[in-house]
Structure 1
Amino acid sequence: MKKLLSITLLTSYFLSFHASAQEAPSIEKQYSKEIERLTKNKKLRAAFAQIDEQEEQTMKDLVTLTEILAPPFKEDKRGEVFAQMLKEAGVDSLWTDDEGNVIGLRKGVSGQSGYIGVDAHMDVVFPEGTNVKVTKVGDTLKAPGIGDDTRGLTMLLSMLRAMNKAQIKTEKDLLFVGTVGEEGLGDLRGMKYIFNKSGLDIDSWIAIDGGSLGRVSNAGLGSKRYKVVVKGDGGHSWGDFGLANPHHALGFVINSFSEEAWQYTSGNIPKTSFNVGRIGGGTSINSIPFESWMEVDMRAVDPKNLSEMESLFKQTVETAINRYNTSGIDGEVAYELIQIGDRPSGELPHNLPIVQRAMAATQHFGVAPSLSRGSTNINIPVSLGIPSVCIGRGGQGGGAHSLHEWFLNDETGPESIKLALLITIAQAGLKK
């Protein structure tokens, strides 16, 4: 399979798929038959049995990794422990790249070029000092980050152990990866490094991140994120009254952008959103601030709309600042736009082999697959036309990105690991 799909092919697929995105996708018979053949293989069935047998160890791994806090840009401690776990589970080689991604290689037997990557992200949204001690209430485990995406890391370990114990050999090389920088301002830095700087020849990618058994993401929701910093001289609220005020100027910006962006997003276009998520600055209630700032998130299904929203944003900021500076105030403010996030959009066709395999494998476990889009690690390969899917971690969970996050390992827990393994082996090829 050619690694990079042609732009023409992707465009035609995108137009046809986008129009029917809400329809139930069809699964081609050849892939259903392929999955059926694989699940009858004795070694694969033995691997499935191993996944069941090692569930206690998998849950121990979940507690161990959850209790190692991995704040944004500080995933190294968790990475060291995860690397040791990969080594003990049995990889042929192991390394941590310059960005911090932990990568374990399990060699295939064919000598074919192009790696099949399987990943979960190591970072969580919580800052240093967060209490990540796992507590147990009945069968439910509670701790920040226990589901998103620490659970995914333990699935990789379970898959690897099961493959080794069942002596499964794949045709193509596999990479088991704990990635960095998936959350927030991490801006997919781990995946950007792998696909743009590492030099690794990636054939296809499978990410595990969120959602229940049955979720198959084949599309990336793109976003642009900016920090707007407005600066002035600052002064006393009474003694310097009338002096240019960065907060007041930022108010002009927010009002102008909100009006223009709302009008744009209310048009007949694929879903596009905007949000002012954080605002800050100032020293006291009776001081004219010397600085005011906000952080803005813009998202869109269609890359064209995302680009247009970005242009609209930049123009309205400039216009609003100019309008404020000419409003009769004393002096003026200056502003700076700092890009803090750039996640590309993209969508892969439902008849692409990896998507078909993911859906057929999901159906094998008695769950109707549903295609979706999200802001996940596959945004990067999908935007490059590299075959990729993101699947759910199974079990039950809730409270993601909150201090009361929880995970319950019900019957879909081990099934989700088997599903990930089945998709991976289908994509990599099982040596007969």
Structure 2
Amino acid sequence: MRKLVKETLLAAVLLQAGAALYAQDKQYTTEIKALADKPAVKKAFQSIIDMEPQTLSDHLMLTEIAAPPFKEMKRAEKYAAMMKAAGADSVWIDNVGNVLAKRKGKNGKKVVVLEGHLDTVFPEGTDVTVKHRGDTLAAPGIIDDTRALAMVLTVLKAMEKNSIETEADVLFCGVVGEEGQGDLRGVKNLFSDKGPGKIDAYIAIDGWDTESITHRGLGSHRYNIMFKGPGGHSSGAFGLANPHNALGRAIHYWAVAADSLTRQPGERLTYNVGVIGGGTSVNSIPFESWMEVDMRSESPERVAAADKLLQEAVQRGLLEENQMKRAGADLTVDVKLIGDRPSGGLDSNLAVIQRAKAAIAFIGGSPKLRVGSTNSNIPISKGIPAITMGSGGKGGNAHALQEWWINDNGYLAIQRTLLVLLAEAGIAK
């Protein structure tokens, strides 16, 4: 009897929860549909379609302005000029190189950011000329994240062309430092005391998947670790401590310990030794040996645990090599943190997430919530409503020289983004 009562109560709870979710989905579906039915928004949708040739032209032109890590200024200056020409109320480049274009709202009580990142992963000197192969466009950075920059610009133009005013202020941004050792420096600056002030909601555009919504931040620690010693001739100075030996030990000890940690219950954790270097010749004891490593997880505790294992492995490798040497000075080691992306997650019931889901469904997609390492990590870690969505079309080989993109109904992602932005910022009455 008791079992039957428990099962009945559980069924009632599940039914109630299901009804609540249905009501919530219906609420945001209704909101997005009502927005899309507004005459001005319908006109903006058509403007987005009409501007497809210009959006593509902006996309290709920006792709061919190289924006290597820490050297985004040339692209930033051009993007700022384009934002100004599009009709933003004020445009400026901040102290780290972010482009900010402010479109004032009716009351300005809320501030919503829409952004793409300016930088690519490709080093200075990379050929960024766009190659046309039928309907396929290929160039380093053509998706990640240059398409997003063109898309953000088109949303601004569509709002201007159709005189759509919002209640909230909107900041249309091109942000530096999203990739690699940029360590999210651009978005970190936006949320610092040097930023534009309070930000109430954050919408980042990154990647190309039209249906994904990143609402959880994949945190990471990244290090440059360098062992140093006197170095010398491989035969004449034999017996000196060898930095490569210490590095090899450190890699071994960390890999074994971290691998064991990844097999324990908990949030997914990854670790990687991505780059190693040092030495001058085959017959020389190196004077330095270095590596760059990465560890990631949604769980800050898991990242911290992997970090602790790394520090222990480095010190063990150093100690053992110094104990084994026969002559000369001890090795030293420099451990430098070069990347610290905070993790975190947001309640999937938050309005911005539900609005994104409803907007994706409205354009005919199936929304999928996911975790990622994007500019949204920063606001998410601070508990500020934030999402990352894709820029649409089809693409592949991101971060490779053969990166490619096809404009397969790319306008749909722009329309989706406009809906989410207007829902967050509110259309002025």
TM-score range, shorter chain: over 0.9
The match for 2:347 is 349
The match for 1:172 is 168
The match for 2:378 is 380
The match for 2:25 is 28
The match for 1:333 is 331
Q: Write the mapping of 1:352-363 to structure 2, written as runs, cut at 5 A.
A: 352-363=350-361
Q: Give 1:242 shift.
A: 1.6
The match for 1:430 is 427
Does residue 1:246 correspond to 2:252, yes or no? no
The match for 1:12 is none
Q: List 4+ stretches of structure 1 deviating above 6 A.
A: none
User: Aligned letter for 2:324?
Assistant: S
Question: Normalization by structure 1: what TM-score?
Answer: 0.92
Kindly indicate whether the alpha-carbon contact (under 8 Å) linking 1:27 and 1:359 is maintained by their aligned counterparts in 2. no
User: Aligned letter for 1:165?
Assistant: K
Cα distance 1:261–1:407, how it changes in 2: closer, same or farther (>3 A)?
Answer: same
Out of 268, 272, 283, the residue aligned to residue 275 of structure 1 is 272
The match for 2:16 is none
Query: Which deviates more from structure 2 when the two are superposed, residues 103-112 or residues 378-387?
Result: 103-112
Kindly indicate whether the alpha-carbon contact (under 8 Å) linking 1:27 and 1:360 is maintained by their aligned counterparts in 2. no
Does residue 1:294 correspond to 2:291, yes or no? yes
Counterpart-to-counterpart distance in 1, 2:196 and 2:65: 30
> What is the CA deviation profile of residues 145-172 of structure 1, one whole-angstrom value per residue up to 9, with x for unaligned ones?
1110000000011101111111101110
Question: Normalization by structure 2: what TM-score?
Answer: 0.93
- Flag the structure with larger Rg: 2
Q: Give 1:362 shift.
A: 0.7
Does residue 1:420 correspond to 2:417, yes or no? yes
Counterpart-to-counterpart distance in 2, 1:305 and 1:193: 26
Q: Give 1:211 shift.
A: 3.1
- Tell me, what secondary structure is at the counterpart of 1:123? coil
Kindly indicate whether the alpha-carbon contact (under 8 Å) linking 1:119 and 1:179 is maintained by their aligned counterparts in 2. yes
Query: Which deviates more from structure 2 when the two are superposed, residues 324-333 or residues 422-431?
Result: 324-333
User: Aligned letter for 1:76?
Assistant: M
Q: Give 1:265 shift.
A: 1.1
User: Aligned letter for 1:357?
Assistant: R
User: Aligned letter for 1:266?
Assistant: R
Does residue 1:121 correspond to 2:121, yes or no? no
Q: Write the mapping of 1:247-266 to structure 2, written as runs, cut at 5 A.
A: 247-266=244-263
The match for 2:137 is 141
User: Aligned letter for 2:143?
Assistant: G
The match for 2:219 is 222
Cα distance 1:328–1:128, how it changes in 2: closer, same or farther (>3 A)?
Answer: closer
Q: Give 1:385 shift.
A: 0.4
Q: Write the mapping of 1:16-95 to structure 2, written as runs, cut at 5 A.
A: 28-95=25-92
Counterpart-to-counterpart distance in 2, 1:64 and 1:118: 21
Identical positions, percent = 49
Kindly indicate whether the alpha-carbon contact (under 8 Å) linking 2:113 and 2:202 is maintained by their aligned counterparts in 1. yes
Q: Provide the aligned length of Structure 1 versus Structure 2.
A: 407
Kindly indicate whether the alpha-carbon contact (under 8 Å) linking 1:346 and 1:379 is maintained by their aligned counterparts in 2. yes
Does residue 1:195 correspond to 2:191, yes or no? yes
Q: Extract unaligned runs of 5+ from structure 2.
A: 1-20
The match for 2:13 is none
Counterpart-to-counterpart distance in 1, 2:51 and 2:261: 53
Q: Extract unaligned runs of 5+ from structure 1.
A: 1-23
Kindly indicate whether the alpha-carbon contact (under 8 Å) linking 2:114 and 2:203 is maintained by their aligned counterparts in 1. yes
User: Aligned letter for 1:263?
Assistant: S
- Tell me, what secondary structure is at the counterpart of 2:129? coil
